[in-house]
Amino acid sequence: MGLFAVFYSIIMVNISKNVRYSRTMGVTKGWYILEKKSLNRSLSSRQMQMIALGGTIGVGLFMGSASTIKWTGPSVLIAYAIAGLILYMVMRALGEMIYTDPSTGSFAKFGSEYIHPVVGYLTAWSNVFQWLVVGISEVIAVGTYLEFWWPNLPQWLVGVVVVATLCLANLTSVKAYGEMEFWFSLIKVVTIIFMIIMGLLVILFGLGNNGQPVGISNLWTNGGFFTGGLKGFIFALSIVVASYQGIEVIGITAGEAENPQSSIVHAIRTIVGRILIFYIGAIFVIVSIYPWNKLGTMGSPFTETFAKVGITFAAEIINFVVLTAALSGCNSGMFSASRMLYTLGLENNLPKSFKKISKAGVPYIAVITISLGILIGLIINFLLPVLFHTPSDVFVVVYSSSVLPGMVPWFVILFSELHFRRLNKDKMKDHPFKMPLYPLSNYLAIAALLVILVFMFLNPETTISLLIGVVFLVFMTCFYFVREKFQTHKEK
């Protein structure tokens, strides 16, 4: 918590002293460098909406929903609703700023411009860290899911093929990435909609239950609606909030959208509602059909629901869907992290080569770097248990450690919008996409996120993961200021 107190004190610093800008030299301590060759604006509105959906609807919903239910039972529905409300505030704040300034790496840029350069720096590296870890875990997941059909297929070979394929797609053009992500996300969305419809038929008409409607009594029987009390509810809320991480990728796409203002406003207006419907609808069906305390003993609730209505190859369907969900997660990770490396290159926080753009309008050095990072992560994941005889689930701790860095963009967006309003009062008069209930909504969302972090620290299952995230942020903060001091001394 002390780290965020530091952030808040930094916010009060005079921005003009922190952001140094030079039009003539093209050198900046902020995020204003203009390149002759720029990223292509070729992402359509439909692709952007699916990218945002795909970034949040992942393996966690299909395979891990039972773990969120165990903490608080059926009241997890309220946890998803509250998390969705926080998400809505974050996205509206982001949308308000992007409408005025649609640029690549938007929230990192806003952090540097409206708070302090170190905040933009931390935000960019937090996003890289988050998506790099997610990308590695998703590639590992792909190998696991393919074992369902080909048990003897080497996982390292699967990892190499997947990373190489997605890398080539990202290098081809942003449109190729957008199209691939559109179809990956569409598969997930169609599956969820179909599962919700089938589940409602079971609940209302007894489909697959000998014509006997299941009803919704499982919501309050088996220990009640709030089975884990307030403590269990907030523990669950922290896990639920983490499942929404990734939606802010829509802000990174801003610099490559065809019609950024209209596309982003439309995407943000519709995306949060759709995600809430998919998440809450799917969880409602699951906790209504099955007693919440039995979900931990079964496989994927999605598989069980399809099997219940007589779809005997349900396991094959869900395995295919989670396979595409994992590919989607890695695809999004490559795109998001590479754009942040490109933004760090513009900031002169990385070698100049990271600013290079291919003829297709892609930051190819950044894409290749992230791809190599994922491959190195895969090698480490496979070698650690063998060389050091560590448990095979060590990476689970590392993966969950990305939760705090994944929250950093949300804090930065909410704080940045406060200062954006104060510095752009003239632009707000006719602004068509203002943050509702400003500034109360900002403070409420920030307070809610801080409460969630406190309970993550108190929860034994998430304490280590949270501390790893804190160590990462503290290290990067110290590194930034040491490097700045060294460069200042060198200039003298």
Neighbouring-strand partners of residue 257: 43
DSSP H/E element including 370: helix 364-388
Percent of the chain with pLDDT over 90: 16
- pLDDT of 34 higher than 50: no
Kindly list the domain boundaries of the chain, sorted by start residue: 42-491
pLDDT digits (tens, 9 = 90+) for 402-441: 788 889 999 999 999 999 999 888 888 888 888 888 899 9
Which amino acid, 479?
Answer: F
Q: 167 and 275 in contact (C-beta within 8 Å)?
A: no
Nearest to 353 by CA among 332, 333, 372, 368: 368
pTM of the model: 0.81
What pLDDT band is residue 40 in, cutting at 50, 70 and 90? low
Mean pLDDT over 255-269 rounds to 72
Neighbouring-strand partners of residue 353: none
pLDDT of residue 234: 83
Taking CA atoms, 25 is separated from 22, 28, 35, 39, 348, in Å, by 6, 9, 12, 21, 13
Mean pLDDT over 168-187 rounds to 84
Which amino acid, 256?
Answer: E
Angle at 137 between CA 135 and CA 141, to 5 degrees: 115
Mean pLDDT over 1-14 rounds to 36
Mean pLDDT over 152-173 rounds to 88
- pLDDT of 2 higher than 60: no
pLDDT of residue 322: 82
Q: Lowest mean pLDDT: which of 201-205, 258-262, 327-331, 458-462? A: 258-262
Instruction: Choose between 61 and 462: higher pLDDT.
Output: 462
pLDDT digits (tens, 9 = 90+) for 359-406: 888 899 999 999 999 998 888 777 766 665 554 455 556 666 778 888
What pLDDT band is residue 108 in, cutting at 50, 70 and 90? confident
What pLDDT band is residue 218 in, cutting at 50, 70 and 90? confident
Q: 91 and 9 in contact (C-beta within 8 Å)?
A: no
- Mean pLDDT is highest, among 40-49, 73-82, 437-446, for 437-446
Contacts of 161 (CB under 8 A, 6+ apart): none
Taking CA atoms, 355 is separated from 105, 340, 443, in Å, by 13, 11, 36
pLDDT digits (tens, 9 = 90+) for 320-361: 888 888 888 888 888 888 988 998 888 888 988 998 888 888
Q: Which CATH superfamily is domain 42-491 in?
A: Amino acid/polyamine transporter I (1.20.1740.10)
Distance (Å, rounded) from C-alpha 355 to C-alpha 341? 9
